[in-house]
Structure 1
Amino acid sequence: MEYKKNIRKILVLILCIIIITGISGCIDTNNNQNNKKEYVLTISLGIDRFNGFYPKIDFLNDQTMKINSNIYNCLVEFDEIFKINPALAESWNNPNNLTWRFNLRKDVKFHNGYNFTAEDVKYSIELIKGDKNNSLYGFLNMIKEVKIIKDLMVDIITVDPYPILLNKLANIYILSKNYQENTTSEIPVGTGAYKFSEFLENNHLILERFDGYWKKKSKFQNVTLKFIDDYDERVSSLVNGQVDMIDFVLPGSVEELSQIEGIKTLNYLRQVVTFLSFDFRENDSCCFKGEKNPFSDVRVRKAIYHAIDIDEIIGNVFNSYAEPASQFVTSYVSGYNATLERLSYNLEKARKYMKDAGYENGFEVVLDTTTVSANRVNVSETIVDQLSKINITVIINILSSNDFYTKIMNRNSSFYLVGWGVDSGDAGEIFDNILRTVDINNGFGEFNFGNYSNPDIDRIADDIFYNMDTRERLNLMQEGFAIAMQDVSCVPLYIYKGISAMINEISLQPRADGLIKLEDIGIVN
């Protein structure tokens, strides 16, 4: 099957497209009273993914975060390679293993002129902790209390030692307590580089540069975000010179765009690892009732790993715009083990493992997959062909996104293809959510869809969760991944690349967290 035939049909609902109109005749330049040029930028985003302005939203998905992250700041923030940097907090320390003391930045203003203080930090955290339905609630469930020490100093006290608090706080927007408690307006007011100007639902959002911003001044005085939902229209706009940048270009469009003079493409590694996983229960498996589950045998799992030709998948499905994965996380994530390598594509080894496990003649299994991304069905069909070579008959079960996640969340799948992105920049969440033995009462193993259980992993994961020594904790995560991969707790497949196309005059540094920081978009002179 040819990738190009399907991309436009599948991706419309999941694309996040950025179109910048300007620079070569499109960007507006205004001269202010000091005769200084001011630039106006237009960006286009698909309408399906924007859920509104924080805090009056139900779910902070990728596109919603991209917009809100330009209006608000957090105490700390990720840089472009997932490292923690100071933001509204200038510095921090640990008076003890349960306390994080933050020294807040001086002279920070909200967009409406209110001063930023410790009261705002306390209010913003307690607002989330007081609402279990808040999509950010899980980020803060280890926080016991927020204490104001003085106007620009706050202590955050955790229930237990919690080494990744900073990574969690990098996703928590700070609100103005005074504004939130004394307004009925839904206009967002933050401390970020841009402030709200105008919004027409499903049409456009205008942001105005906040000249009182505590960091560097953006190049653009105004940014208009237009909500356009058609991929072909966006590509045509770039080709016709109506817009200057498109993010999340499909691989099938790269060749055409690269042949147009004045347009360049940029690719960067996304943080989502796509992998195959299994129901690990030996007996009472959901799809092998009354018989032993073949996936409970590590030899079968190794056979499947050796039977996967990842180069074929990346070349044919992704036009080579992906990289092989060797574990649950990418190299940007703390805990990545650089010594781990993929098991080789080796049908001879795969067939021997199947024979040794007693499955020389193979078996039949259903592979659950979804159209949540453009490539899942194509990848699944390639896997069907590859596993047939070791006598495993795979029947693809294509589900809607909701039905797919309902099924695997109910632990009712024997074999499934799924992707996971580490938003915190720390691999500890893989251990807590995916690798730990399921323990719903304590909140562990929530996304362990196949009931994987390994006492060595549980022991390491427990130490990772509480260990405040950065070096020790890193070593433990790397050790844990080595054990998990030896046990074939999943078959890691690929990390797909994001692709941007833009006119030569645009400069943009891709970020590991996937955000688009308007303040970092530049103009090449």
Structure 2
Amino acid sequence: MRLANLLTASLATILAMTMPSAGQAPAPSATAEGSTFRYAYRVDPASLDPHALAETFTLSFLGQIYEPLVGRGKNLELVPALATRWEQPDPRTWRFHLRRDAAFSDGTPFTADDVVFSLRRAKMDGADVAYTITSVTEIRKVDDHTVDLVTAQPNPILPLQITSTYIMSRAWAERHGATAPASVKARVENYASNNANGTGPFMIESRQAGVRTVLVRNPNWRGDNASNLGKVVFTPIQSDATRVAALLSGEVDMAYPVPQQDVPRIEANAGTRVLKGFELRTIFLNMDQKRDELLGSDVKGKNPFKDRRVRQAIYQAINIDAIRDRIMGGSSHVAGTMIAPGINGYDPRLDVRAAPYDPEAAKRLLAEAGYPQGFSFPMDCSNDRYVNDERICQAVVGMLGRVGLKVSLNAQTRTKFFEKVLGRDTAFAMIGWQPLSYDAHSTLQDTMSTPADKIGTYNIGGYSNPKVDELTRLIETEVDPARRAALIVEAMDIDKQDYGHIPLHQAGLAWGLRAGVDVVLRSDDSLELRWVRVEPRTAAAAPR
């Protein structure tokens, strides 16, 4: 991550670069165009290229600048965005009727040419969002305000899949040499990496990657911007303590996520409050089941993770309830399956442990598999991406150690972590997944299907079961809701019985706000700036 050392600096060091000097309150939180909103999150957007990385926060941030054809409302329902309506003239074609009143922030009118260009760009090598339109085989301009997306097979859920597939200006990209995606994983950059030109409600005024990004209202936005914001100042603050201190001191209007142990202190402070909920992201463990020899292990010539008994032993050695209670402050939802409540296809019957926490049973399974003394292997983990990520991994290492598995932890910043694990350079890793479609098909296709061309992109352990692959293909094309739900349960249950992955939990959401700030807490952990309203600070509330 750029300037990672800066993100762990003291509160004074960070905010000195983004706020007025100590002893001075900022100018009143209003400009001639509206109020100023200052907020902090744990990381910076990985790129401003909308196709560069399919990471929830990066896509959420870019969703304030760019727009998809189909968007999401306050309750995650589908709503018109750059398309006013959509229909199926035949089972393999989705027709999108485009807005005639949309324009990019540089004033360029939005047309079908931009849609065709952007979706073709999103399918190129290096585009991390390619999986959202894998089923699309042809992108066809009908006229200046109509586009057809043709799929190989009938795909009833395509509008669900493209709600974070953003549209760029073809003319802008061509003018600035950004016609190809600037892949974060491949460490490729172009003009779009640090500049943006979208049709969304806000636009970039200035950006210092890793330090501060300033947004202002897009004068060409034609939509329902219910906010009273004229300017938005975003500061990435990796340290939980520093982020909370910035909120309590009044230096920021919002800080998230808030650690559970700090919630009572924030709620007890007269000038701040906490909004709470549950994430739709499932945190889970991945075991390399593809290589014939496990990376970094003292077992040579074979891969223990190919043995279901070993995978089950790891599962039964992990006390997920203890992780919830001791690390997550009791706020997480223990996961028995790979999708969260609220994801289409979720079935509570699957949301229970596959086998009980039982270290002695784990030891017996390891002995049966031929490892009575256990074995060693490395674990990859991020230390700045998910709530308490490094602490969770440390706990897992300790629990596995009690059954004889000697695990060496490699915790890194999210940029290095994703580069490593998405390059399949890992034996055992913890990752999170929130389907952009909010549908189980995405989890099946992207984290559980056998890795192939733009399929199984985030199946970093290489889990492979032909029946899961077959069911996933059927789920994408099945139009009968009851039949489709049954197929999802069947596929999810196969992975569960295989111990193909080890789901841990969905973390609790906690957003810290100062008094006088109203936001909409969505379960996808996405802050939509067009719904933020900020009351001017009183003299007592102004930072000192």
TM-score, scaled relative to structure 2 = 0.77
* Match 1:427 to one of 440, 447, 452: 440
Provide closer, same or farther for how the CA distance between residues 450 and 189 of structure 1 changes in structure 2, counting only shifts above 3 A: closer
Specify which of 355, 380, 386 is matched with residue 369 of structure 1.
380
Partner of 1:298: 308
2:407 counterpart letter in structure 1: I
Distance 1:361 1:115 in 2: 68
Range with bigger deviation, 133-142 or 474-483: 133-142
Question: Residues 65 and 199 of structure 2 are in contact (CA less than 8 Å); yes or no, is this contact kept in structure 1?
Answer: yes
Does 2:257 correspond to 1:248?
yes
The runs of 5 or more residues in structure 1 that have no matched partner are 1-7, 33-37
Aligned positions of 1:480-499 closer than 5 A:
480-499=491-510
Q: Hey, what does 2:146 align to over in structure 1?
A: 153
Aligned match of 1:132: 125
Mapping for residues 59-78 of structure 1, pairs under 5 Å: 59=53, 61-78=55-72
- In 2 relative to 1, CA 507–407 (structure 1 residues): closer, same or farther, beyond 3 Å? closer
Distance 2:462 2:242 in 1: 45
Q: Which residue of 1 aligns with 2:114?
A: 120
Confirm or deny that 1:350 pairs with 2:366. no
Q: d(CA) in 1 for partners of 2:377 and 2:300?
A: 17
Give the C-alpha shift of residue 480 in structure 1: 0.7
Aligned to 2:412: 400
**Mean Cα displacement is larger for which, 320-329 or 461-470?**
461-470
**Partner SS state of residue 149, structure 1:** strand
Q: CA deviation at 1:408?
A: 4.9
TM-score normalized by structure 1?
A: 0.80
SS at match of 1:339: helix
CA RMSD between the two structures:
4.0
SS at match of 1:274: strand
C-alpha offsets along residues 253-277 of structure 1, whole Å, 9 cap, x if unaligned? 3233232123111223233322233
Note closer, same or farther for the CA distance 1:307–1:197 as it changes in structure 2 (3 Å cut).
Answer: closer
Question: Which deviations, in whole Å up to 9, do the C-alpha atoms of 1:208-257 show, x marking residues without a partner?
Answer: 33465333233324113244646455433322234322122233432332
Contact 2:95–2:149, Cα closer than 8 Å, also in 1: yes
1:501 to 512, 522, 534: 512
Residue aligning to 1:266: 275
Where do residues 158-169 of structure 1 align in structure 2 (5 Å cutoff)? Answer: 158-169=151-162
Q: Deviations over 1:121-172 (max 9, x none)?
A: 223323444x423444443444333223234322112244344432342122
Name the structure 2 match of 1:3: none
In structure 2, what is the equivalent of residue 224 of structure 1? 232
Q: Check 1:345–1:12 CA distance in 2 against 1; reply closer, same or farther (3 A cut).
A: farther
10 and 479 in structure 1: CA distance in 2 versus 1, 3 angstrom threshold: farther
Within 5 Å, give how 1:198-209 maps onto structure 2. Answer: 198=206, 204-209=212-217
**Which of 1 and 2 has greater Rg?**
1
Equivalent position SS for 2:216: strand
Contact 1:80 1:513 in 2 (8 A): no
1:379 aligns with 2:387: no
Alpha-carbon distance in structure 2 between the residues aligned to 1:59 and 1:410: 14
Deviation, 1:102, is 1.1
Deviation at 1:50, TM superposition (A): 3.6
1:328-382 deviation per Cα after TM superposition (whole angstroms, max 9, x unaligned): 2212322322211124644388259638936694522324132434634432333
Q: How much has 1:113 moved relative to structure 2?
A: 4.6
Question: Residues 120 and 385 of structure 1: is their aligned pair in 2 closer, same or farther, counting only changes over 3 Å?
Answer: closer
Equivalent position of 1:101 in the other structure: 95
Deviations 1:47-67 (A, max 9, x none): 962455446x85565554344
In the alignment, the residues of structure 2 paired with residue 159 and residue 209 of structure 1 have an alpha-carbon distance, to the nearest angstrom, of 40
Partner in structure 1 of residue 80 of structure 2? 86
| 2:332 pairs with 1:322 | yes
Matched, 1:418 2:431: yes
8 Å Cα contact 1:58/1:134 also seen in 2: yes
Counterpart in the other structure of 1:5 = none
Further displaced range: 297-306 or 497-506: 297-306
Structure-1 separation of matches of 2:262 and 2:513: 13
Instruction: Note closer, same or farther for the CA distance 1:138–1:460 as it changes in structure 2 (3 Å cut).
Output: closer
